[in-house]
Structure 1
């Protein structure tokens, strides 16, 4: 896959990747398995297999640590080589589970001790990754120091002192590398599942209006083009969710990645007025209310209360739906309705999100296409087959570019389209 791109020195940006030939939208430029990865843990995450990352409600727990879960014995056996030392560490700290970054760095250390070589280092290796420790704020450095202490306690069962660490292994530098270079692995519905390190893909630089996107098929990372890319042009992705005002995007990029974005969208402050459209005080009130909602939305017992809060806010709001704080409340209301089986209400909220999504996410964006597909599924479930067919066809045209014909979610979409066609013919 490296025949599509090459490492080069990007002016003012350090290392980068550029196209070695002209590329059209919808090309898989690179595929990569992770150097290491670990499943996200927390009440906001649905259970997933710790090997293949498939979602499931009847996953088997590891009999030793009781933390790792697997689809079946085959997944468990396939994962054991990477889990066995981690398993002993987890047993010793239960019921306390270390953060995702602590468990990820632990896996890096065990991998370095076992088999350091990896295909995901085809263009760039773990040792090449930048930690940016010197550029981090004192607050970030203090946070990393606390993580180092947590990691030492976590690894104590397997690594008693620094002499047992891999040669030249600086733990705080590893945390810096993870902070700046790890990827959040999402499922077909763009829900976070795991966090992983793909060293070669860390060469990609950021743009708030990128020419490539990253999607995942299980653990496998797919780098896909979403624009025409002439030979020699730099390949870019967005490191963050672009549905934030310019100053917030730049603040997050500076804090986590230690650079100031100077892309056209940031310099022109494109869409900044739309994002905070409406009365300023009303927008700030919606933003503060949203913070309270987020604290409750992942608790199943609070779903009705969260939906009630969302509906009360939206009923009293004079803000346009393109205001990003209102849009996020609409999204939350949509999810709560789906969880509670309130399909008609879910559809009404979902339809209101489509136009703002098309404004903030480019034509070919995985987040946008999943939102369109979600609305199409609701229309299909409610028997609105002509409307569902139109919506799902729109999703199909975008998904061919963002995910490709072979992606598993395309199979789901084709089945939905087939069901719509059959239902329409039957009537």
Structure 2
């Protein structure tokens, strides 16, 4: 973690890092994190970090009203696109998520405090989380991690059995339109198709397409890329 590294540096330099105290340097790192974006491709694979003046004014929420994506073209710097994923009143604030919000409230609050130096009080974190919801987050996280290992080892049928119930979990735990959710729906759709359930595969692919139509915009370069990957 950044903080432990800073403490080690501070000890080696008499408690100072380039003339600054450890808390001051941590605050600087957190400010950079708060005002920068992880530039990612349409499949949310990170490519780098970008600073965008106008977009940096957008605050975090674990129940975001918008999502960011990036226009990526050769020989030009990536530009950021922010689209709303739910209806908003004219005076309503547009928010995005600074992190993967698919996790229990306690872990989200802890991570945001460590990486961004603030205590999240968004609608999803401002009230106690029901134990059943926390348990569902844990089940989804475990299913995702196990399935990645199974797919890497070629155990595709086991991966499908592990992931079969996750679409319903995504519906329960995330906004209706959320990029990570769309990717996971496409993953299960591919597995269902490979084992012959074409009806279920088509249903999940349609739901994933609806997610990215809202998040990326039908006809956009990113939408076309993600749909090509979904059927590849």
Give the alignment's TM-score, normalised by structure 1.
Answer: 0.44
How many residue pairs get aligned? The number is 215
Partner of 2:131: 273
Tell me the SS of whatever aligns to 2:49.
strand
**Structure 2 CA distance, aligned partners of 1:347 and 1:395?**
17
Distance of 1:139 and 1:338 partners within structure 2: 34
Secondary structure of the equivalent of 1:276? helix
Q: Measured at CA, do residues 144 and 375 of structure 1 come closer, stay the same or move farther in structure 2, by a change above 3 Å?
A: farther
Question: Is the 1:183–1:195 Cα contact (8 Å) retained in structure 2?
Answer: yes
Q: Distance in 2 between matches of 1:176 and 1:187?
A: 24
Provide the secondary structure at the position in 1 that maps to 2:204: helix
Say which SS state the counterpart of residue 266 (structure 1) adopts.
Answer: coil
Measure how far apart 1:414 and its partner are. 6.2
**Quick one: structure 1 residues 140 and 224, their matched pair in 2 at CA, closer, same or farther if it must change by over 3 Å?**
farther
Alpha-carbon shift at residue 210 of structure 1 (Å)? 1.5
Corresponding residue number in structure 2 for 1:227: 86
Query: For 2:45, which of 183, 186, 191 is the aligned residue?
Result: 191
Alignment of 1:240 onto 2:99: yes
Aligned partner of 1:214 among 68, 80, 86 = 68
User: Cα distance, 1:415 vs. partner?
Assistant: 8.1
> What do the CA deviations read for 1:151-202 (whole angstroms, capped 9, x no partner)?
x9xxxxxxxxxxxxxxxxxx95864543332322333222333233323321
Per-residue deviation, residues 258-317 of structure 1 (Å, max 9, x unmatched): 3222222222224x412433xxxxxxxxxxxxxxxxxxxxxxxxxxxxxxxxxxxxxxxx
Shift of 1:139: 5.9
Which whole-Å CA distance do the structure 2 matches of 1:350 and 1:339 have between them? 15
Contact persistence 1:242–1:360 (CA under 8 A): no
Question: How much has 1:387 moved relative to structure 2?
Answer: 2.0
How far residue 239 of structure 1 moved from its aligned partner, in angstroms, is 1.6
Secondary structure of 1:372 counterpart: helix
Q: From the superposition, tell whether residues 410 and 348 of structure 1 become closer, same or farther in structure 2 (CA, over 3 Å).
A: farther
**Residue deviations 1:338-367, cap 9 Å, x none?**
223322222222212222222211111111
What does residue 410 of structure 1 align with? 224
**Deviations 1:121-157, CA, capped at 9 Å, x for gaps:** xxxxxxxxxxxxxxxxx868637869x9xxx9xxxxx
Superimposed CA distance per residue, residues 302-341 of structure 1 (whole angstroms, 9 cap, x where no aligned partner): xxxxxxxxxxxxxxxxxxxx2x333222112211222233
Look up the match of 1:205: 59
Q: Distance in 2 between matches of 1:183 and 1:374?
A: 26
Question: Gaps spanning 5+ residues in structure 2: where?
Answer: 18-23, 73-77
Matched, 1:142 2:7: yes
The CA RMSD measured in Å over matched residues stands at 3.2
Q: Give CA deviations for 1:364-390 in whole Å, capped at 9, x if unaligned.
A: 111111100111122233343222111
What is the CA–CA distance in structure 2 between the aligned matches of 1:262 and 1:175, rounded to whole Å? 21
Contact 2:42 2:226 in 1 (8 A): no
Partners of 2:31 and 2:116 within 8 A in 1: no
Partners of 1:404 and 1:410 within 8 A in 2: no
Deviation track 1:61-92 (CA, whole Å, cap 9, x = no partner) reads xxxxxxxxxxxxxxxxxxxxxxxxxxxxxxxx
Looking at structure 2, the residues matched to 144 and 176 of structure 1 have their Cα atoms a distance apart, in angstroms, of 17
Residues 408/276 of structure 1: CA separation in 2 closer, same or farther (3 Å cut): closer
Q: Of 195, 207, 212, which aligns to 1:394?
A: 207
Contact 2:35 2:57 in 1 (8 A): no
What is the alpha-carbon distance in structure 1 between the residues aligned to residue 92 and residue 9 of structure 2? Answer: 36
* Match among 117, 125, 128 for residue 258 of structure 1: 117
